[in-house]
Amino acid sequence: MTTAAIDAGSDKTTALLEGPAKSRAPESSAIVQVARKFGVSPLRQFREMLLLNRSAARLSFAEYQSNALFNPELTMEQKREFVGVKANWTLNLGMSPYELVRSNQLVTNKFLYCSLLAQLGLRTTRTQALVEKHHRSGVVPSFANAADLKAFFLGAARYPLFGKPNSGSLSAGSVCIERVDGAANQAFLADGRQVDLDALCEEMTGQKGGYLLQDALVQHPEMAAIVGNAIGTVRIVTVNENGTARPLYAVWKIPSPKAMSDNFWQDGSMIGAIDIETGKILRARTGSGLKGQDIETHPVSGKRLVGFQLPCFQEALALACQAHDVFPEFGILGFDMAITADGPAVVECNDNPFHTLFQIANQRGIRNADFLPVFEKVTKRSAEALAKQRKSLKAKFKAHR
């Protein structure tokens, strides 16, 4: 995903949520708008785009626009603290080198990861079934074709039910099903749509990498009273500096009033910057680039977002750190945490956390003076661990020659 995709919606031609539109460089009209609104000439914008694209930030022209880096209140030093998708990946890779994090495939497999957490007694979402042609899922039902999947929906399935690809990100391919009507052959979705049940089953069985069907968690009533019933997960990013995970930052992904999921690229979605010490919302925003704006209250409920105290926040931080400590070789991880009336639950884990969420919520680059020393320390620790691992493997190889 690129940050320009944040503002892009998609036509709902299928039951499953389509991914964000492909990133594009800002159009001339947007550049003119910036010049008029912010007094930043087109020449200056192009010069800054080029400088930031060639810097460690590696920001594309589209990412310059979507991060609102045309804002003249930001110094060039502050703008260089932002990262684009490429620099985001490089930053995370330095803290979690692939050669060191051999459990990467387990962490990114949503079915296996949630199953492991549940076995370890860490609260997570419960899997009802897996849609996969060649996977063996133990005691969890697995369906290889649309007919068997439909029978499950009409029989053993418990509603509401949330579906998503077993691999992938950005909520692409996700759906929340409230109920099904076998006589009408209809599935009733959480966004108010009705879709043909056979067509839905065909879509799910056609997903590459398998498809996961889980219990749809119910959001904590204090949060639902403000933002509605769709789960708005808290993204908690943790780091491992000294052998034990600790939280670095958190943001609240607030769903669009008409959405089934909380991904920020969907039109109307919001995001809240969280005080990591207290769990209070410091700032809330909607949109990005020229469309980005601060908001104080929710557009539908009218209730205040800024100043809201997230329930069970300290428990959520503790759960994220416990989950990270299961895989201490990772220098950085991002957890999507649902907060329910019964407490927090891990929805999924991201081995390459998307720091643009922090940047848009806080209007501050991730490579800032507070975080950069942490990243450098974690990267150094991972490099030392990798060197030690290589030395150990070399000695074992030599001993068995």
pLDDT for residue 207: 84
pLDDT digits (tens, 9 = 90+) for 317-372: 999 999 999 999 999 999 999 999 999 999 999 999 999 999 999 999 999 999 99
Strands 142-143 and 161-165: unpaired
The answer to whether the beta carbons of residues 272 and 323 sit under 8 Å apart is no
Domain 93-111+220-380 of CATH type 3.30.470.20: yes
pLDDT digits (tens, 9 = 90+) for 215-241: 999 999 999 999 988 889 999 999 999
Strands 186-189 and 175-181: antiparallel
Structure tokens at 337: 């945490």
The answer to whether the beta carbons of residues 81 and 366 sit under 8 Å apart is yes
Q: Match 């979402």 to its residue by tokens.
A: 125
Task: Give alpha helix (H) positions in 228-355.
Answer: 313-325
Instruction: Please return the burial class of 102, using the count of CB atoms within 10 Å of its CB with bins 0-12, 13-18 and 19+.
Output: exposed
Residues of the chain with CATH 3.30.470.20: 93-111+220-380
Q: Match 């750190």 to its residue by tokens.
A: 321
| pTM score, whole prediction | 0.89
pLDDT digits (tens, 9 = 90+) for 270-292: 999 999 999 999 999 999 889 99
pLDDT digits (tens, 9 = 90+) for 248-270: 999 999 988 775 555 665 677 89
119 vs 271: CA distance, rounded Å: 32
The answer to whether the beta carbons of residues 318 and 123 sit under 8 Å apart is no
pLDDT for residue 21: 58
C-alpha pair distances (Å), 231 with each of 87, 191, 225, 305, 356: 30, 12, 12, 15, 20
pLDDT digits (tens, 9 = 90+) for 28-59: 889 999 999 999 999 999 999 999 999 999 99
**Mean pLDDT, the chain, whole residue set:** 90
